[in-house]
Structures are given as structure tokens and as C-alpha cells.
């Protein structure tokens, strides 16, 4: 499933679930921080060719091998996770 499809599926579900957990999420930035986390996660998950249309095109044309995409995608995912968690903690502490 593509990143945009995953985000489109998860955002309404997590928005509804977040409204039910509004009190518990308040110290972490509330529902907006939860939805920003989903958006960041979907944007940075790019280790497979299907993740985004540009990745699929580059893979289909033979410019990139799947092994190379996986290595770079895992590194970007780990770096993005560290930056994302840091941003969410900072965002939550300012609200």
C-alpha cells in the first residue's frame, strides 16, 4: 500500500480514536500531535518501490535496485523517526 493511501486510511481512524483519548494525549500535544506523527511517518517510509509514485517510476525504469532503496529507506526511516519523535516531544511541550 502506498504512503498516501496508508495516511488516508489512518488519519480518520486515529482522529476518532484520539478524540476519545483527548485527556491522555493532552500532555503529548493532543490529537494534532498524533495526526502530525502519522503524516511524518507516511512521508518518511520509503524503503519499497510502492511507497511513493516517484520511487515506483525510478524502480520501474531500472534506475534504482530494490536493495539500494531498502538500505537508503531504512536509514531515512531511522533518521526520520528520531527527528519525528524529537519534534513531537517539543511540539507537545509547547502546547
Convert the pLDDT of each residue in 19-56 to its tens digit.
888 888 777 778 888 888 888 778 777 777 777 788 88
Do residues 84 and 40 touch, judged by C-beta distance below 8 A? yes
Domain of residue 74, residue span? 3-94
Q: Is the pLDDT of residue 67 over 80?
A: yes
Confidence band (pLDDT; 50, 70, 90) for 12? very high
| In the chain, % of residues over pLDDT 90 | 6
Residue 92, pLDDT score: 67
CA distances from 38 to 10, 64, 95 (A): 8, 27, 19
Amino acid at each position: 500500500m502506498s504512503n498516501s493511501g496508508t495516511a488516508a486510511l489512518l488519519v480518520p481512524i486515529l482522529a476518532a480514536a484520539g478524540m476519545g483519548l483527548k485527556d491522555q494525549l493532552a500532555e503529548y500535544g493532543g490529537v494534532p500531535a498524533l495526526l502530525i506523527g502519522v503524516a511524518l511517518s507516511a512521508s518518511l517510509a520509503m524503503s519499497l518501490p510502492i511507497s511513493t509514485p516517484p520511487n515506483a517510476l525510478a524502480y520501474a525504469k531500472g534506475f534504482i535496485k530494490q536493495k539500494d532503496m531498502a538500505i537508503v529507506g531504512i536509514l531515512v526511516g531511522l533518521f526520520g523517526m528520531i527527528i519525528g519523535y524529537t519534534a513531537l516531544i517539543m511540539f507537545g511541550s509547547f502546547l
